Chains A and B, each alone.
Chain A
């Protein structure tokens, strides 16, 4: 059974940094792309970043480009989101999500982890 468990959330001051982790199990991690999607409190969903299964290609949403960086360690079955220069508007629950198809990028999300809350506040 596929499991995705996010960690690393917490409270950080504006301008600070945080690294989120998503530990995966139950599937061949190195053969699937991974995404981060966020949801501000009481708001809708916003796609943040994608890393292809091979880790070569990475893509970002407009609001985080240049500040956030996605990476993966296939030996640890883990995907990361390094978040720098954090702003109040980055406050959200951050979900990791799996690409559904083996070694393909279809850009939909199934399944999702339970999420980790990041709060940017002084």
Chain B
């Protein structure tokens, strides 16, 4: 199985900060990597697919990059509604696997 490791596991940031979350795969997954946002009590929401394609309706302050084993999700200017937990997910192989999540909290 492909293991996905996110870092950090949690972080605190101010509104307006630029932040980057990283995701590392245990083997090369090309660009088969997606990002989701989950707010407390809600279902996850797709943000980015194919490593860097922004899902329709997702604000342009979100961006994704990377290929192979190393990927990142960047929020260019953190907004109050962005405080949530973020998950990466690989679609290179079955079983599909997620990172453990990165919780973004208000500083």
Contact = CB atoms under 8 A, between A and B. Distances in A.
B44 A109 contact: yes
B95 A110 contact: no
Interface residues of A, number: 22
B87 A45 contact: yes
A113 B44 CA distance: 9
Residue from B87, B95, B97, B98 whose CB has the most chain A CB atoms within 10 Å:
B95
A112 interface: yes
A113 B1 CA distance: 26
B67 interface: no
A107 B98 contact: no
A113 B55 contact: no
A62 to B, nearest CB: 6
Interface in A63-121: 95, 100, 106-115
A24 B38 CA distance: 21
Nearest to A65: B95
Contacts of B36: 45, 109
A46 interface: yes
Given A108-B34, A108-B89, A47 B46 contact: no
Interface in B1-50: 1, 32, 34, 36, 38, 43-46, 49
B66 to A, nearest CB: 16
B43 A44 contact: no
B87 A112 contact: no
Given A44-B87, A107-B91, A112 B34 contact: no
15 contacts: A44-B98, A44-B101, A47-B95, A47-B96, A50-B96, A59-B94, A62-B1, A106-B49, A106-B91, A108-B89, A109-B36, A109-B44, A110-B46, A110-B49, A115-B43
Interface of A: 37, 44-47, 50, 59-62, 95, 100, 106-115
